[in-house]
Amino acid sequence: MDDTIEITLTVNGETVTRRTSPRQHLVDFLRGELGLTGSHVGCEHGVCGACTIRLDGRAVRGCLTLAVQADGARVETIEGLTESSEISDLQRLFVERNAAQCGYCTPGMLLTAAELVAAGQAMPRAAIRDFMSGNYCRCTGYQAIIDAIEHVLEARFGAPAKEEG
């Protein structure tokens, strides 16, 4: 009995058609079927953010999204964002600031940070911390990550307005 469903989606700009089980999560599909292992799995219950990917332009949890939900959708992963150079400044700052230690949280952090950068405005540091607080990192203690993001926001959009923070 074949309970698989055919889906067609755009992944990092390429159209792919595959059969998938209706219960397969999108992150498992990307990792297992397409070999896009840059997206990671840390909890499989929506808390850690390691599986963060972009679905139709929005950052989502790849472990809370079913592959079949992505039928007809546009999916981007760390591999795609790297190729398009969209976040090359963030990536450079993560390297310079040592904002990745084991690196397991890093692709998810970058996808979340990319959403912040895409919002197009500078932000006070405390607000960056709040925005990033859905992504767990066990290694860095977060400061270097926040530094890197803050630096990129400032470089792109100037210093944040003063009131908050």
Partner 1 sequence: MSGKAGASSSNSTNPTNPIGQAIPRASVRRLVTGRGRYTDDMTFARMVHAVFVRSPFAHARILSIDTGEAARAPGVVRVVTGAEVAEVCKPFQVRHAGFPALKVTPQHVLAVDKASWQGEAVAAVVAESRAEAEDAAELVMIEWGELPAVADADAALAPDAPLVHQELGTNEALALTVDGGDVDGAFADADVVVEEEFRFARHTGVTLEPRCIIADYDPSTHALAVHQSHQAPHEMADVYARHLGFPGHNVRVVAPDVGGAFGLKLQPYADEIATCALSMLLGRPVKYTADRLESFVTDIHARGHHVKARMAVSADGDILGLEVDDVYGIGAYSQFPRTSVFEGVHVLRMSGVAYKHTNYRARVRVAYQNKALSGHYRGVGMPIANTVTERLVDMATTELGLDPVAFRRRNYVPSEAYPHTAPTGFSFEYMSLGECLDKLEELVDIPALRAERDSLRADGVYRGIGIATFTETTAISPEYYGKAEIRVAAQESCVVRLEPSGHVRCLIGMTDQGQGTATGIAQVVAATLGVPVDDVEVISGDSAATPYGAGAFASRGAAIGGEVALQASRALKENILAVAAAILQEEPAALDLSDGRIVAAAGGTARMELAEIADIGHFRQNILPPDVQPQFTVARHHVPRALPHLSGNGIQLSYLEVDPGLGAVKLLRHAVVHDCGTVINPLLVHEQIRGGAVQGIGSALYEESVYNNEGQMLNASLADYLVPMAAEIPDIEIADVITPTRSSELGAKGVGEAGVTGASPAILNAINDAIGPLGGRLAEIPATPERILRALGVV
Element (H, E) at 155: helix 143-157
157 binds, among partner 1, ligand FES, none (CB under 5 to 8 A by kind): none
- Does residue 59 touch partner 1 according to CB under 8 A? no
- Does residue 34 touch partner 1 according to CB under 8 A? no
* Nearest distance from C-beta of residue 122 to partner 1, angstroms: 18
Question: Which of 44, 89 has the CB closer to ligand FES?
Answer: 44
16 contacts 9 by C-beta, under 8 angstroms: yes
Q: State the number of CA atoms in the 13 A half-sphere of 110 facing the CB.
A: 27
Beta strands per DSSP E along the chain: 5-11, 14-20, 52-55, 58-61, 74-76
48 contacts 21 by C-beta, under 8 angstroms: no
60-89: which residues touch ligand FES (CB under 6 A)? 61, 63
- Does residue 142 touch ligand FES according to CB under 6 A? no
- Does residue 44 touch ligand FES according to CB under 6 A? yes
Cβ-proximal residues to 2 (8 Å cutoff; 6+ apart), any chain: 19
Residue with tokens 């999560």, as numbered in its chain: 25
- Does residue 136 touch partner 1 according to CB under 8 A? yes
- Does residue 137 touch ligand FES according to CB under 6 A? yes
> Contact with partner 1 (CB under 8 A): which of 27, 60, 132, 153?
132
What residues make contact with ligand FES under the rule CB under 6 A?
Answer: 41-44, 46-51, 61, 63, 100-105, 137-140
